[in-house]
Structure 1
Amino acid sequence: MSAAAPLEARVAAALARVPAWREAPPRFALAAAPVASPLHRGVASDCVRVEPEGGAPVFLKIRHPDMARDVVPWAAEAARKAASLGVGPRVVLDEDGLLGLDYLPEPWRYARLGDLQDPGVMAGILDAKKRLHADAPLGRRFCPFARLDALAAEAGAAGVVLPDGTERLVGVAGLIREAIRAAGLDLAFCHNDGVASNVMLDGAGVRLVDFDLAGDNDPWFDVGVLINEACAFEAEACAAVEHYAGRFEERLLNRCRLYGALDDLAWGLWGVTRAATSARTGIEFHKYGTWRLLHARTTLGARGFETWLRRL
């Protein structure tokens, strides 16, 4: 069903696709309003709380057709793996375009940027990511450079008018690709997501949600995009690297900085392209995209950029 249809109609049509709910449609309510800027939350799927009769509540994600290319085909498999490791909610439903998870009740809530700047919370998130990385690989490769290439190609095919200088930034990303390739990397099962709202907190623990981009990748990409989201000052970034690695090394921080810029660039292209191609014109895709591109431009134009490339 079109994303332009009313929410109630979209959810009812989705629930009717689940055999267990077809004859006794459960009650439902919006669980997360879609916001692209500044939260970047709930834009790939309608997120609803479903209350089956006699059953536990379910957090149901109903993917929008115009966002299908933004979700890896193995997202449910990745979410199940995270749940088995104790760092994600249990998957209770996996249908085409539908993903149901155990609903995390209060005091669970999604994290805000300010939460990530608390050293204890940041440490908990890094530990959760490290638990993913320590397990066996998923066997599904996620390459951030390939994603960037695909987004750039999509923008070109759609005739998207990009902010000035964006093509140059994409070219500079090629230097990062070559530097990482020369330095080498190990693959591990990664979340590949640094957005604050995809972390759930209850005051004592951490759960990771939204495995739409999960897959085997350099674990330092996970650390880098989280640092890029949360750390406004170098001292905070250094502390995060030290916590994850057990020591601080400049080359590790450099890798994180480069991955953060790459993530900014990819999400920037995503935002300005979705603003031109999505039917949901009420979501501020363009604002989010241009902000991420500005952040990428700032990092890639920093005086230390060439040094970071050389010291990986």
Structure 2
Amino acid sequence: MTEIFDRIPLLSGAPRSVEELPGGLTNHNYKVTVPGGAYVVRVSASEGSLLAIDRDVEHSCSLAAARIGVGAPVHGYLPELGVLIVGFLPGRTFTEADLREPANLRRLAEVCGRLHAGPRFARDFDMFEVQRGYLEIVRARGYRLPAKYLDFMPDVERIRKCLDIRDVGRVPCHNDLLPGNIIDDGGRLWLIDYEYAGNNDPCFELGNIWSESNLSLDLLEELVTAYYGRRLRHKIARARLLGLMSKYGWTLWASIQDGANQSIDFDFWSWGMEKYERAVAEFTGSGLAALMDEAVRAD
């Protein structure tokens, strides 16, 4: 990595220490400390176009999030190398246990609200479209498809039509708020890693948080209620349906990573199958039709 660091003016020509950071599933991340400060250098480790990642869009979304004080400051971008340089945020990375604390869910709802009220991002993000794109790639390249995956496509179409009935428009969303993308500096929360950022239904953001940390339904209700300021049954149902789509869509993300990404030592298939099994339980449970009815009703 030395040659990459040497091409970054902030980091070249001065003593530096380098620490590889854990957790990246599409990047190699390094904390680089020089006399002028500490920075995170993110080096792409995947074929972004396969995963619906546009590095130019990621850069512009990172800039927008930094301007409103939600994301880390952006200090450089080398698109020819797939490198993004942001400020290092001192603090503690969230865990799933943190998101099981109602007080933290209220803090997260607040920072999501600030992001969602900010300037529009450079693209839209729709998991229904992303999932279809992933499916085309999986089939074209012969990657593994979970058993009976296609059996649930009619349900997906019914969910899409149901959500269209009360379409709420799009706001700038992060779209990938697993705990590792949330930093607590002791006073406030920061959101990092804008690879999948785009304008989206805010209930996808909330449902994806619920899905990624496998939270209880009570905690989903807590999160949605904190976000909207009052309990809205149709919003809770909407977030739950979009959380189901999150599980179903990211399953194929894992299939693509399993087939295409040889540079990161991670069991993508098992990670994806855990999501898929939870999605199947919801698709085949007795409450899906009632949930769609709830999503279109007025409170």
Q: TM-score normalised to the size of structure 1? A: 0.87
Superposed displacement of residue 68, structure 1: 4.8
Alignment of 1:88-167 (within 5 A): 88-96=71-79, 97-105=82-90, 108-167=91-150
Structure 1 SS opposite 2:220 = helix
Aligned with 1:81 (options 41, 64, 74): 64
CA, structure 1 residues 255+98, in 2 after alignment: closer, same or farther (shift >3 Å)? same
Matched, 1:50 2:32: yes
CA RMSD of aligned residues (A): 1.9
- Contact kept? 1:147, 1:266, Cα under 8 Å: yes
Superposed displacement of residue 211, structure 1: 0.7
Deviations 1:74-95 (A, max 9, x none): 1111111111111111111112
Alignment of 1:134-283 (within 5 A): 134-230=117-213, 232-280=215-263, 282-283=265-266
- Contact kept? 2:45, 2:264, Cα under 8 Å: no
Alignment of 1:267-306 (within 5 A): 267-280=250-263, 282-306=265-289
Any stretches of 5+ residues in structure 1 without a counterpart?
1-10, 33-40
- Contact kept? 1:275, 1:281, Cα under 8 Å: no
Deviations 1:194-236 (A, max 9, x none): 3111101133210001111011111111111112234633222
Q: In the alignment, which residue of structure 2 is the partner of 1:64?
A: 45
Letter in 1 for 2:4: A
Whole-angstrom distance in 2 between the partners of 1:83 and 1:20: 18
- Contact kept? 2:224, 2:236, Cα under 8 Å: yes
Whole-angstrom distance in 2 between the partners of 1:111 and 1:177: 31
Whole-angstrom distance in 2 between the partners of 1:115 and 1:58: 25
Identity rate, percent:
23
Superposed displacement of residue 282, structure 1: 2.9
Give the aligned length. Answer: 291
- Contact kept? 1:91, 1:101, Cα under 8 Å: yes
Structure 2 SS opposite 1:237 = helix
Whole-angstrom distance in 2 between the partners of 1:261 and 1:282: 27
Superposed displacement of residue 288, structure 1: 0.4
Q: Which runs of 4+ in 1 moved over 6 A?
A: none
Whole-angstrom distance in 2 between the partners of 1:270 and 1:125: 25
Any stretches of 5+ residues in structure 2 without a counterpart?
none
Whole-angstrom distance in 2 between the partners of 1:151 and 1:176: 18
